[in-house]
A = this chain, B = another copy of it.
Amino acid sequence: MTGHFIIAIDLGGTNLKCALLDGALKIKAKSSFNTRSFNSKQKLIDGLAGSVNSFISELHVSGSSILGIGIGLPGPVDSLKGIVHFLPNISGWRKVGLKKILEQRLGLPVFIDNDAKLMALAEHEAGSARGYGNVLCLTLGTGVGGGLFINNLLYRGVDNAAGEIGHVPLNEHGPVCGCGSQACLESYIGNSRIIRRARRLFGPDVRLEDVSRLAREKNRKALAFWDDVGKKLGLALSGAVNLLNLEAVVIGGGVAGAGYVLFKSVRRTILERAMSVQAKRVKVLKAALGNDAGMIGAGYLVRERLRK
């Protein structure tokens, strides 16, 4: 392949997704690597560098045709300084200058950011959030992440830590959350929490995709299951909507696949619990870019940073 390309990476808990993007940020090739062995700081760094190198050599593109590498990571990132504050499940990871380390290993410009922020960037540039100035994009997965746009700009906050809708409390007291608090939205509807409930209801081998399919088939237990997830999500969003008078909320990630029943429950809860002006204003939309959003967002990040 010839031309100029960007390599975009979305690092998740179970796999690392790689894409080769062209100048228009269209995906030209994809690959996926298992990340279960990336379980220490050094192994993760080696795994990231090794995955990029083997992806590049698979594709037969020259290093000189690659403008840069964008990486989305599941934790708090100082994107400008290129530092990852911490990563869940990687003990000993504390304020690692990942950008610099990978640039030295790979000989290419590297840009890093939080994965939910990159998903939001992609949805705002090319997906469902396009055209909305004030919009919150959420990803529902193991974690519940978010990216907030204010006046058409990704709002990072002073430590690039804004957008954490997953850690809005839903109750004064409730389940312990991975962040150290309790009763956060994520502690109720993170995938690892709802899968436990799904197994109690539907048997030990059920996957969340199965519960989504059952809901589409109008199974009553499955409908009630997603209705309840939607109520929890809608309650957290009611607070955000009252505080921010948002034009839209965009929901992505695997769980968004539950579809109509989930979105209906979120919308109804916002109408019940948010103030009328704010509730009537906000649109609740499904993310458009699916599993590719994180990689496309990483492409926008590289393009944005190289322009400066």
A30 CB within 8 Å of chain B: no
CA of A163 to CA of B239 in the docked complex: distance in angstroms? 10
Q: A245-B161, A277-B161 are in contact. Are A238 and B181 (CB under 8 A)?
A: yes
Given the complex of chains A and B, what is the CA–CA distance between A284 and B165 in angstroms?
21
> What is the 8 Å Cβ interface bit string for chain A, positions 120-139, against chain B (1 contact, 0 not)?
00000000000001100000
Residues of B within 8 A of A158 (CB): 133-134, 245-247, 281
B243 touches A240 (CB 8 A): yes
Taking residues whose C-beta sits less than 8 angstroms from the other chain, chain A's interface range is 35 or more
**Docked-complex contact B235 and A169, CB < 8 angstroms:** yes
What are the residues of chain B within 8 A of A164 when measuring CB–CB?
242-243, 275, 278
Decide if A170 touches B168 in the complex (CB within 8 Å).
Answer: no
Which residues of A, 110-159, contact B by the 8 Å Cβ criterion?
133-134, 146, 148, 150-151, 155-159
Beta-carbon contact of B239 and A180 below 8 Å: no
Q: Are A155 and B159 in contact (CB under 8 A)?
A: no
- One digit per residue, 1 when the CB lies within 8 angstroms of any chain B CB and 0 when it does not, for chain A 179-213 equals 11110000000000000000000000000000000
Asked if A72 is at the interface (CB within 8 A of a chain B CB), the reply is no
Query: Which residue of B76, B161, B243 contacts A162 across the interface (Cβ within 8 Å)?
Result: B243
Q: Given A171-B171, A239-B168 in contact, is the A245-B278 Cβ separation under 8 Å?
A: no
A210-246 interface mask toward B, CB cutoff 8 Å, 1 = contact, 0 = none?
Answer: 0000000000000000000001100110111011111
Is A255 interfacial (CB 8 A cutoff)? no
Chain B residues lying within 8 Å of A231, measured Cβ to Cβ, are 172
Q: Which residue of B lies closest to A148 (CB)?
A: B243
Would you give 27 A-B contacts (Cβ < 8 Å), ordered by A?
Answer: A134-B158, A146-B243, A148-B244, A150-B151, A150-B155, A157-B245, A157-B246, A157-B278, A158-B246, A158-B281, A161-B278, A161-B281, A162-B245, A163-B243, A165-B242, A167-B239, A167-B274, A168-B242, A169-B170, A169-B235, A169-B239, A179-B275, A181-B275, A182-B273, A236-B239, A240-B243, A243-B243
Q: A156-B245, A157-B278, A168-B239 are in contact. List 7 more A-B contacts (CB 8 A).
A: A85-B277, A150-B155, A158-B247, A158-B281, A167-B242, A180-B275, A181-B238
